Structure 1
């Protein structure tokens, strides 16, 4: 199998990465594109050091099984299929699924630290950075964590101030100006994101096919 065309997608929490990814992937048949997400490579929480409030910091590069993440990306380069248990963010109501990640001509690598990890950043052919104003991103984060992940409001705010924002400033923001495309996503209008994904998909098809 030829080396896939690798697109790296990263962004601040609450920037709309999930919708962007879904919109982008919908432009292709399943055999044309595959996604590997850093979120499925978190090191189990019980191996981390608790803070005084008994919370764990998941917003550090060391919270990810970096070696396995990189190894699986390289396996996809070699045409191998990856089997990996989904990470459910410690939500006891969710039963983890077994993910089957098949190689394809287009490989999407998604995650907060993909530009910071030098060995992964070097593999990327095209880099997309999604961003949003902090107040808007926080509102989206609260909506997601309180409803979808069942977190406590005070815990969400503590993590935002002490984990999320410092991590963004240290490990993501420095790479924004080096990316091929920066999307400032401050309005909840799906047509805006769809416009960008339409353009990228169209350009990509011409380049690859």
Structure 2
């Protein structure tokens, strides 16, 4: 990749270390909007209640996404930040959807289906339809966990499509609820301390499904298209609108570096971070509040065609102030991410290189060479920071 030349427009003043770094990179900046932000800082804020000493209540995290959008991979990245390998409850149902680790428990909200696969077929509804979900039970049990009480939770068996007997879940330090409807019910929504939405564009979702279902399962292109179209109305009506309630959104889009790229192998990933969230500071590139487009120096990153491009700047999302950090393209060598890491701020890493270390540790996970892995890792570090702020207790760094 050829070494680009520097270009600055209306650039705010930078430190000596920043100035040295800017040489050999393409940067474009527009004037800061910090003054505008300051005038609206008191509006649309999201409040967290600090747990009083001795309460020791679980921290509640919500993760929403459509099926096949990377929730399981994200869970494993996040759990790795807190330590321990995820495992199913010992001695329980081998088809349990629950994952346990040293500090975390992950519950799949499919377990709160009130209609099994056959019941949904009989009534003509999909699993995305709220009619198939028992929100009263979900709310009561999430509230019980929040109040440090154990629950007896049903299990939705994804193999048989039936509801299996209940399993007992004890309150952990961190409870994660992942699935299709974590933010649909307002009562449940108010119990979360932090919320994430994984937003995969239709183009990328279609490309991924073709790769999986045609190559691995022998499905025809026509059947894949029909399956996607059958789900679309319910997804648009019930799942997609939940992203407006999330504190951070990881949005996966087709690359803009290759015209008409259809395979979904090169991705543009946007990390949308709401402003005003207590105990959460958005990650930024170079200069907080500025608008920056950056092509890293080709002598310092090994990136084959089409290269890598970063973007950072303020924006609005569903009427709220956000900061957006974006990566288009992918790394050839994950260890070289440390060059990018040194120019990111408010990452919630405890030491320089921790993001790269986490990425290398999970290098076998999908997305480890692009923005999905990078931003999922940063969100895991953010959750750790929120936890430490709420309970006033430090989490040991996991190598």
The answer to whether the 8 A contact 2:82-2:384 is kept is: no
Distance 1:138 1:34, change over 3 A: same
User: Does 2:131 correspond to 1:131?
Assistant: no
The answer to whether the 8 A contact 1:45-1:56 is kept is: no
Distance 1:81 1:24, change over 3 A: same
Q: Give, in whole Å, the separation in 2 of the partners of 1:101 and 1:146.
A: 38
Look up the SS of the partner of 1:184 in the other structure: strand
Q: Give, in whole Å, the separation in 2 of the partners of 1:178 and 1:158.
A: 30
Larger strand proportion of the pair: 2
User: Does 2:111 correspond to 1:44?
Assistant: no
Q: Give, in whole Å, the separation in 1 of the partners of 2:198 and 2:388.
A: 24
The answer to whether the 8 A contact 1:34-1:108 is kept is: yes
User: How does 1:144-183 map onto structure 2 within 5 Å?
Assistant: 157-163=225-231, 165-183=232-250
The answer to whether the 8 A contact 1:14-1:132 is kept is: no
Task: Provide Cα deviations, 1:155-188, integer angstroms capped at 9, x if missing partner.
Answer: 654442122x222211232232342111023544
Give the CA deviation at 1:76: 1.2
User: Does 2:207 correspond to 1:25?
Assistant: no
For the pair shown, the structure with the greater C-alpha radius of gyration is 2
User: How does 1:59-98 map onto structure 2 within 5 Å?
Assistant: 59-89=128-158, 91-92=159-160
- TM-score if structure 2 supplies the norm length? 0.44
Look up the SS of the partner of 1:182 in the other structure: strand
Alignment root-mean-square deviation, CA: 3.4
Larger helix proportion of the pair: 1
- TM-score if structure 1 supplies the norm length? 0.77
User: Does 2:106 correspond to 1:35?
Assistant: yes
What is the match of residue 367 of structure 2? 189
The answer to whether the 8 A contact 2:66-2:179 is kept is: no
The answer to whether the 8 A contact 1:38-1:112 is kept is: yes
User: Does 2:178 correspond to 1:110?
Assistant: yes
Number of aligned residue pairs: 203
Look up the SS of the partner of 2:82 in the other structure: coil
Aligned match of 1:204 in 358, 371, 386?
A: 386
Give the CA deviation at 1:78: 3.0
Q: Give, in whole Å, the separation in 2 of the partners of 1:168 and 1:113.
A: 11
Q: Give, in whole Å, the separation in 2 of the partners of 1:179 and 1:120.
A: 13
What is the match of residue 300 of structure 2? none
